[in-house]
Structure 1
Amino acid sequence: MSEVGQRMMPEPGEFRRACNYGSCVEVAITEVVAVRDSKAGQDGPVLWFSRSEWEAFVAAVKAGRFSVG
């Protein structure tokens, strides 16, 4: 992981888990938003989003713009 990525990485306690049918993701919202697959563990890959990108995604989910199921 790059030095920048290490500085930005939230502490383990900052991640919150969400599960649906046995599949889980973990999300940490700080200055940026970090998303990871809970099965990969703390050293697994992380997707990074700006706060505005995350807020747009959440708004789209709430508006039903994604087909789930």
Structure 2
Amino acid sequence: MPGSLAPRWFKSSYSGGSGTECVECATADGSMLVRDSKKPHAPVVAIRSTAWKAFVRAVGAGLLER
């Protein structure tokens, strides 16, 4: 990434153990970045931190269906 530090990616603690459902996340400039760990050069989804926090709260409260 020119002019900035590269994001520090980490695997989601809820990624599947079989290696087929790995999601990686990173933070950058007030956003949360999400990508498929099997395709690190594919497009990345950027989510504003306020939306990410609301999503995490909803998941934790069991408000979202699988």
Q: What range describes the TM-score normalised by the shorter chain of this pair?
A: 0.7 to 0.9
Give the TM-score, by structure 2 length.
Answer: 0.74
State the 1:45 CA deviation. 1.1
Equivalences, count: 60
CA-to-aligned-CA distance 1:7-61 (integer Å, 9 cap, x gap): 6x8625x1111222431000002321110011112x1111111010100000000
Specify whether residues 10 and 67 from structure 1 end up closer, same or farther in structure 2 by C-alpha distance, changes over 3 A only: farther
Q: Secondary structure at the match of 2:38?
A: helix
Greater helix content? 1
Give the corresponding residue for 2:9: 15
Specify whether residues 59 and 48 from structure 1 end up closer, same or farther in structure 2 by C-alpha distance, changes over 3 A only: same
Distance 2:52 2:36 in 1: 16
Q: Which amino acid aligns with 1:32?
A: S
Greater strand content? 1
Distance 2:38 2:57 in 1: 26
Specify whether residues 10 and 47 from structure 1 end up closer, same or farther in structure 2 by C-alpha distance, changes over 3 A only: farther
2:65 is matched with which residue: 48, 64, 67?
67
Identity %: 35
1:46 aligns with 2:41: no
